[in-house]
Structure 1
Amino acid sequence: NASRLAQLSAEAIGLVESAEPSVTGLNVSLGRALQEMSQIDPGARSLLEEQRAISGQLSDLAASMSDYAEQLSLDPEQVKEVEERYNLIQTLKRKYGSTLTAVLEYGAKSAKRLAILEGRDEELFRINSEFANIDDQLRSIGKTLSKKRKEAAPKLVKEVEEQLNNLGFMRSRFEVQIIDNSELGKDEAVILGTGFDQIEFLFAPNPGEPFKPLKSIASSGEMARVMLALKTVLASQDQIPVLVFDEVDSNVGGETAAVVGGKMKHIGVDRQVLCITHLAQVAAAANRHYLVVKEIIEDRTITRVEMLDAAARVGELTRMLGGHGEAARQHAKSLLG
């Protein structure tokens, strides 16, 4: 009990005299405020007198507590220990919180942060190991993908060339060029989103012409028909929902035009196909026929698009066939089936 009494006495004396803020310090601030009030309003002098009386009582209380503490029969070492502990607590409160609870919470958070910092080497090792594992998986998948591409390329070439023959490129050639980074002298550590390979579709439309990248084909019609051949072969593989073919019937005759229309109709079973065409054989294969019309209204050119009903569609196909008689009309009907 003597130790506890000494601790409490030291805390009480500290609250009155040395704490921040201390009772004595607060009372001094109160006295200054009341002094200024009494200078402004004489009626406040009674408050100042009460404050001065309290100051005297605080001094007496501090002296009495000091006397009380001195009378406690404590070993000097115990007194020193109590004082050091009290001073330590006050220092911690000034730095880390106004209450012991706040100081303890700060200590718990600091301990957690320290544990994280001390374990960072282990965490870094774990992350690096996981990264290395993922890198190994990527390289394994990349090599498998490259192998499958090289196995599938000859089959793709053969089937695309067959489709190109049907589309009027009777002696054209198609090739798939697969080059990995090592062949280009690039760092094998580089992994692209498409794997290790660079792939180029090559096309030679006529005998004696060298292969050129498909993207370098000058004719939009040729490009459209090559893409149509590719999409016909890959119809069940890719996930592109909408395809647009512009002038796919450029420089083709009636028989080839019917083949073009049939292939687009096949592709259109699983996705939306839009085609701009001037050939009746192609237009007839569609499920819907839209007519683009330009007209001048009040000196302004207006373009409008209208969907044709069954009767209007027969009339438009007749016009596209270049005829106006009954024979052309019957031909148009036969194209629609």
Structure 2
Amino acid sequence: MLVELSIRNFAIIENLTVPFEKGLTVLTGETGAGKSIIIDAISLLIGGRGSAEFVRHGANRSEIQGLFHIDNLSHEIYYKAEQLGIEISEDQMIVLQRDITSQGKSICRVNGKLVTLGILRELGENLVDIHGQHEHQHLMQAERHLSLLDQFAGDKITSSLLEYKQLFKSFTQLSARVKQFSENEQKLAQRLDLLQYQLNEIEKAKLKPEEDIHLSEERFKLANSEKLYKTIHDSYHALYGDGKGLDWILFAMNNVEDAANLDKELKGLKETISNCYYLLEEATFSLRDYYEGIEFHPERLNMVEARLNEITQLKRKYGADVTNILEYSAKIEEEIDTLLNREEKIQELETQRDSVCEDLFVEASNLTELRQAVANELVEKIHQQLKDLFMEKTKFQVEISERSSSVRDPLINGKHVHFHEAGIDKVEFLLSTNPGEPIKPLAKIASGGEISRIMLALKSIFSIHRGITSLIFDEVDTGVSGRVAQAIAEKIYNISKNSQVLCITHLPQVAAMASSHLYISKEQLENKTVTKVTTLSKENQVEEIARMLSGAETTPLTRESAKELLSQANKIKDVYVKLTN
């Protein structure tokens, strides 16, 4: 759930911190007070589109922070965070933060870690779902209905859908390779000529593994042979010769040996110095052999330089080092062989593709059967939801049909089949709101009140299956009144038992069902307009609902009506509590 929201320099909000509770929280207030601005801030927090226009006039940036508590350790957000390398603390808290500069740039953080806007959106959509006045437009888009049906199906379809997607990936890759090898003859011939030229050039160089590394080391040694000779020569003569290092160590060794004959405790020290002397003597002779073996080969240096230059030219074309060049050589050799035997390769790929296509069709057909069974269950649940919203005569239907195909699609059992990443099905939700009227797509529904109720019925079901922790309804009750308004209020309250719900409303029936009531107001302070949020007490809640009932000044009668409405709401809540227990 969303525990706290902090907003600074956003639109007309200068500095605002809003705590939220579990259950149903309603936000009410006069038009223009800033209710929707708070929802806009949450939308940006979970990855919505932002711009410099959101930054408060005179400020450098807007800052929005949201603290979420996720007590369900199996929630999808934990898996997503682990995938993205984001650590969630033991207290199960997640902090989303988004800053928008006056230049329109976004800076996003999750638990203090800088992330991209895409990652913020990926995490945010698992935490909050916002339904505005125009949210129904998304529900009415037929292309979204398939994914909604699959969301409702949940585990019943997950394994089959995963198996289908894996086969679809293989089918797509094989189809792409068949197309690649079936391109026009001229293009393939040009490709073959290019590859053969490249292979000949690499083979002509007769490269050896890591040759560039060994040659670079040899070049360095050859280029510094004079300095190497001098340093080793000087080191040898510093140790060997009359009055040099070894003579003095020999002198010390003999003296310590004489002393050891007088004191047995020096025996160990004598052996140490003696060992050091003989080791150093051996190293001295090795130094002599080394510098005497140094030869100056300017011709060899020139040869190494020329070879390295040749390898550098090949690196520019075929790889960062000799190993990469040899790997590229093996790769193009294989491709050349494939192109020379193109017809056989095409036949092999087509056989593989057709085999996968048959399995794909079996899995697609299985998905269709599963979806048809789940669709019947969804229809039953939607009808119950609509009945609760006084739309018992409305008929809801899930139409599952096969996607349109063309002659370019695979031919299976005598007909062309178009495979999509989610199957061969096209799903559309249809509705008839009045008896005798033909069933038609959701987009054909005209009444605003009907749209609100249908949207609420659909979201009542789909929100549970999505596992969203916080649902936000932004004036979704527009265009309704009377008993329908009461039904919507009860439906929103019922949703809040499974998820935290924040609701901007102008309906007193919805406000009366709230677990927490926030009043949004606008004030003038020092020539500045600021938005203020107040958590209403029971007495103040009565006043606010009375104002919502009257639409103007409150009177003793509207206050009594407000008290009665709250009393009825409490009785309804008690009934829900008893039913759940």
TM-score range, shorter chain: 0.5 to 0.7
- Amino acid across the alignment from 2:477: V
Partner of 2:423, secondary structure, is coil
Partner of 1:179, secondary structure, is strand
Which of 556, 561, 566 aligns to 1:328? It is 561
Query: Shift of the alpha carbon at 1:98?
Result: 6.7
Which of 157, 166, 181 aligns to 2:403? It is 181
Q: Which runs of 5 or more structure 2 residues have no equivalent in the other structure? A: 1-299, 315-320, 410-415, 571-581
User: Aligned residue for 1:16?
Assistant: none
- Amino acid across the alignment from 2:451: M
Structure 2 CA distance for aligned equivalents of residues 319 and 158 of structure 1: 39
User: Aligned residue for 1:96?
Assistant: 307
Count, aligned residues: 245
Kept after mapping to 2: 8 A contact 1:145/1:195: yes
- Amino acid across the alignment from 2:542: V
Matched, 1:160 2:393: no
User: Aligned residue for 2:219?
Assistant: none
Structure 1 CA distance for aligned equivalents of residues 504 and 309 of structure 2: 79
Structure 2 CA distance for aligned equivalents of residues 99 and 196 of structure 1: 55
Kept after mapping to 1: 8 A contact 2:406/2:418: no
Distance 1:156 1:109, change over 3 A: closer
Considering fraction of residues, name the structure with more strand.
2
- Amino acid across the alignment from 1:275: C
Which of 363, 366, 369 aligns to 1:144? It is 366
User: Aligned residue for 2:331?
Assistant: 116
Structure 2 CA distance for aligned equivalents of residues 301 and 111 of structure 1: 70
Structure 1 CA distance for aligned equivalents of residues 397 and 408 of structure 2: 23
User: Aligned residue for 1:222?
Assistant: 450
1:123-161 residue CA offsets vs partner (Å, 9 max, x unmatched): x98x96998887666555433322211111122112211
Aligned residues: CA RMSD: 4.6
User: Aligned residue for 2:52?
Assistant: none
Query: Shift of the alpha carbon at 1:284?
Result: 1.8
Kept after mapping to 2: 8 A contact 1:295/1:301: yes
Structure 2 CA distance for aligned equivalents of residues 218 and 306 of structure 1: 37
Distance 1:262 1:177, change over 3 A: same
- Amino acid across the alignment from 2:402: D
Matched, 1:278 2:511: no
Distance 1:189 1:243, change over 3 A: farther
Query: Shift of the alpha carbon at 1:225?
Result: 0.8
- Amino acid across the alignment from 2:433: P
Q: Percent identity?
A: 30
User: Aligned residue for 1:70?
Assistant: none
Partner of 1:119, secondary structure, is helix
Partner of 1:289, secondary structure, is strand
Query: Shift of the alpha carbon at 1:226?
Result: 0.6
1:175-220 residue CA offsets vs partner (Å, 9 max, x unmatched): 1111211589994664434432221111221122222221332333
User: Aligned residue for 1:291?
Assistant: 519
1:91-136 residue CA offsets vs partner (Å, 9 max, x unmatched): 9757532799xx9xx87765444333333468x98x9699888766
- Amino acid across the alignment from 2:329: L
Kept after mapping to 1: 8 A contact 2:404/2:418: no
User: Aligned residue for 1:238?
Assistant: 466
1:265-320 residue CA offsets vs partner (Å, 9 max, x unmatched): 22223334333333322222222323355789999998765442332112212333
Structure 2 CA distance for aligned equivalents of residues 218 and 186 of structure 1: 39
Structure 2 CA distance for aligned equivalents of residues 171 and 268 of structure 1: 27
Query: Which structure has the larger Rg over C-alpha atoms?
Result: 1
Partner of 2:516, secondary structure, is coil
Structure 2 CA distance for aligned equivalents of residues 169 and 155 of structure 1: 18
Partner of 2:466, secondary structure, is coil
Considering fraction of residues, name the structure with more helix.
1
Structure 2 CA distance for aligned equivalents of residues 184 and 324 of structure 1: 71
Structure 1 CA distance for aligned equivalents of residues 310 and 476 of structure 2: 82
Which of 482, 487, 491 aligns to 1:253? It is 482
Kept after mapping to 2: 8 A contact 1:221/1:247: no
Structure number with greater CO (CA < 8 Å, separation at least 6) is 2
Q: Which runs of 5 or more structure 1 residues have no equivalent in the other structure? A: 1-88
Q: TM-score when scaled to structure 1? A: 0.56
Distance 1:108 1:289, change over 3 A: closer
Distance 1:194 1:311, change over 3 A: farther
- Amino acid across the alignment from 1:324: P
User: Aligned residue for 1:81?
Assistant: none
